Amino acid sequence: MHTEGPYRVVKSNSGTFVCGAAPGRIAEVLMCRTGQDVEADANLLAASWELLSIARRWAALDAGSWAVARHANEKAELLRDTRAIIAKCGNHY
């Protein structure tokens, strides 16, 4: 079982961390090579909770009773949410 989300990036004098809903740290984000963008990596890790949620929603899109109007509305909402999370991650990827 993974740590409950949502996740957030926390910067302190001791480093950059990804934290969950409960107190404590999930991960410390380190620079492993020259030029690595630690903040972008931290944002991507912090977005993992939302990315998993969106992936589950895409997978369930065709589940249940299928109706053209419902499908179109849900798909439009999912596309908006998907684009928003990509923008939140910084469009680095």
Cα distance between residue 63 and residue 78, in whole Å? 15
Condensed to tens digits (0 to 9), the pLDDT of residues 65-78 reads 656 677 788 889 99
DSSP state of 29: E
Mean pLDDT of the region 33-38: 69
Cα distance between residue 39 and residue 68, in whole Å? 41
Q: Is the pTM of this model over 0.75?
A: no
Domain boundaries, the chain: 8-88
pLDDT of residue 79: 92
Mean pLDDT of the region 30-58: 81
Tokens matching residue 48:
């993992």
- Give the Cα-Cα-Cα angle 93, 20, 36 (nearest 5 degrees): 30
Count of beta carbons in the 10 Å neighbourhood of residue 58? 15
